Amino acid sequence: MRTAIKWSRALVGSLMLVSVGAVALAQNLTLGTKLEVNTLDPHFFNAFATGSSHEMLYEQLTAFDNSGGVKPRLALSWRTVDPTTWEFKLRPGVKFHDGSPFGADDVLATLERIPNVPNTPNSFAQFTRSIVRASKVDDLTLRFVTRDPNPTLPLDLASVFIVPARIARSASTADFNSGKAAIGTGAYKLTEWVNGDKLVATRNDAYWGSRAPWASVTEKVIGKDAARLAALLSGQVDAIDEVPIADMPRLKTDARFTIASGPMALVQYIALDSARDSSPFVTAKDGSALAKNPLKDARVRKALSLAIPRALIVDRLMEGTAVAAAGPTLPGMPGSSTTLKPDPLDLPRAQALLKEAGWADGFKITLHATNDRYPADANIAQAVAQAWTRLGLVVAVDGLPGSVFFTRATKQDFSAFSAQFGIEEVGAGLRALLGGVDKERGFGTANRVRYSNPGIDAKLVEALATLDLGERARKLERVSEAYMADQGLIPLFHPIGDFASRKGLLVEPRPQRRFNALMIRPQ
């Protein structure tokens, strides 16, 4: 009898423990991500991985919203006092993780720290350089004076994470990495970080905003696609990013998991060497040199674009995880054209354009691409090469590892190459990718083929200086359309970001490449 009571008590006790454990477990989130954060110093390395993980711990004055603009975060409102002066009003009642109050001094100290962080491979100074003088009006009001009118300063500041003033003045990157200085205002606090393995954070109960849904978050770094998927299937992680393309159909039919997809502010494009009179990989079909470079003619570039079956590439190669692109920027972002459509597959028109330009006999060209960097990158290059062959050209494809590819592309070793580029703000993106290379003005930093159209560049300069954001967006739309009419590059598609989670979780995709607990809620 006593044994029976002992056993039943044990049974009830363990049942309670299991149910409590189940409830407690339901509040912990484990993510499997491809992004590997390599530091806890929010001002050390501007990259996707750090931007993603640091968002949980630290906050900025403004934050990106999903349509290419920004929303208030630590700043409540902002306005221009005159063309080169901005005034930001800060949110009251915000505390850092160590209990100290947040105020204007912290922002000023952060701005001072950013250009002086030693050894940064990719500094955040690019976001704060336009500010020549920052001053506080009172503890919750700041004034920034910019060198030239900068209508997108709030967008620049969306990448700048604020740390307490005493830490900004004294801490080194090593202090952040050890966790001592990793203090922010974010919805989660740092608990543990094992470099290259995982990041563990717990809920900040003193957070100013709405209560975070997860008591603890673990971000595990799993670089290999197959291993990340296996971790999700075995239940070891609750959600993953970058679902491998080939596994999407299988996951869609599995009732245990949900897929969330959203367009990414990226474009897969083909760049053509239109700057030089003679291009290294463009020759006559028999290999002899050509008198002039066919890629200099906008009609030839247009023909090359019309020959590409974008719908097939999106459907077969990318298994639907992409959307055909009409221009370099994601539709819906301020400044993205609302009238451009992706070039349809139109071989007869393409051939007519080639003939009109005097290249009815075609030519020989080599298309270069990475083979280890973007999903299906080598396959996309092969598909495009096949498309151009049907147009009547002789095409060779060369796939290279990323570490070799980018150096050679910058040195203008290639005639045509396929790559991806991220554009989070249309004006800055067009300036970097399509603006004629000009070091002083900061134009064309990503324009590896040195494409140049001074007429359109002048319109871009005018658009960038326009203070009224609505007017600026309209002007940028015209500029985008002009660049595409001149076929400055051939846009292929915008990738769609896919996330898979176990049933009961809702993932909210973002156009920026991020994957953190702020995007995930229980259903």
Partner 1 sequence: MLVYILRRLSQTGLVLLLTSMLVFAGLFLIGDPIEILVSPEADQVERDRARASLGLDRPLWAQYLRFLANAASGDLGTSFVYGRPALGVIFERMPATLELAFLAMLISIAVGLPLGLYAGLKPDSPVAKAIMAFSIVGFSLPTFWVGLLLIMVFAVQLGWLPSTGRGPLVDFMGVKLSILHWEGLRFALLPALNLALFKLSLIIRLTRAQVRENLLLDYVRFARAKGLRKSRVLGVHLLKNIMVPLVTVIGLELGSVIAFAIVTESIFAWPGMGKLVIDSIFKLDRPVVVAYLMITVLMFIGINLLVDIVYSLLDPRVRLDATEV
Q: 307 φ, ψ to 5°?
A: -80, -10
Residue 372 interacts with partner 1 (CB under 8 A)?
A: yes
Q: CB–CB of 60/161 below 8 Å? A: yes
DSSP 314: I
Binding part of the chain for partner 1, among 99-107, 227-235, 247-255, 288-296 by CB under 8 A, reads 227-235
Site string for partner 1, 437-476 (x = CB under 8 A): --x--x--xx------------------------------
Q: Mark residues 110-149: x for contact with partner 1 by CB under 8 A, - for none.
A: --------xxxxxx-xx--x--------------------
Q: What is the 3-state secondary structure (H, E, C) of 187-244?
A: CEEEEEEECCCEEEEEECCCCCCCCCCCCEEEEEECCCHHHHHHHHHCCCCCEEECCC
Pairwise CA distance, residues 467 & 115, whole Å: 26
Report whether 488 contacts 304 (CB < 8 A).
Answer: no
- The least distance separating partner 1 from the CB of residue 345, rounded to whole angstroms, comes to 29
Q: Which of residues 12, 26, 227, 246 is near partner 1 by CB under 8 A?
A: 227
Q: Which is nearer to partner 1, 130 or 386 (CB)?
A: 130
Q: Which stretch binds partner 1 (CB under 8 A): 42-50, 382-390, 479-487, 497-505?
A: 42-50
Q: Which backbone phi and psi does 274 adopt, to 5 degrees?
A: -105, 5
User: How many residues contact partner 1, by CB under 8 A?
Assistant: 57
Could you tell me how far CA 79 lies from the centroid of its own chain?
A: 27
CB of 227 to partner 1, least distance (A): 5
36 forms part of the interface with partner 1 (CB under 8 A): yes
- Residues 374-413 contacting partner 1, CB under 8 A: 401-408, 410
234 binds partner 1 (CB under 8 A): yes
Question: What whole-number distance in Å separates Cα of residue 118 and Cα of residue 323?
Answer: 41
Candidate list 18, 76, 226, 311; residue touching partner 1; CB under 8 A: 226
Q: Which two tokens stand for residue 199?
A: 């990041």
What is the enclosing helix (H) or strand (E) of 417? strand 416-422
Q: Does 174 bind partner 1 (CB under 8 A)?
A: yes
For partner 1, the closer CB: 91 or 431: 431
Q: Which of 21, 101, 209, 223 binds partner 1 (CB under 8 A)?
A: 223
Q: Please, which residues bridge with residue 79 across strands?
A: 87
**Residue (of 270, 370, 376) closest to 321 by Cα position:** 376
Minimum CB separation of residue 194 from partner 1 in Å reads 7
Q: Which stretch binds partner 1 (CB under 8 A): 59-67, 262-270, 428-436, 475-483?
A: 428-436
d(CA 314, CA 496): 10
Among 233, 380, 449, 500, binds partner 1 (CB under 8 A): 233
Round to whole Å and give the CA distance between 368 and 396.
Answer: 9
Q: Which of residues 240-299 bind partner 1 (CB under 8 A)?
A: none
Here's the x/- map for partner 1, 183-222, by CB under 8 A: it reads as -----------xxxxx---------------------xxx
CA 310 to mean position of chain CA atoms: 22
d(CA 220, CA 515): 11
Whole-number Cα distances in Å, 83 to 67, 97, 265: 25, 36, 29
Residues that bind partner 1 (CB under 8 A): 32, 36, 38-39, 44-47, 118-123, 125-126, 129, 173-174, 177, 194-198, 220-224, 226-228, 230-231, 233-236, 372, 401-408, 410, 421, 428-429, 432, 439, 442, 445-446
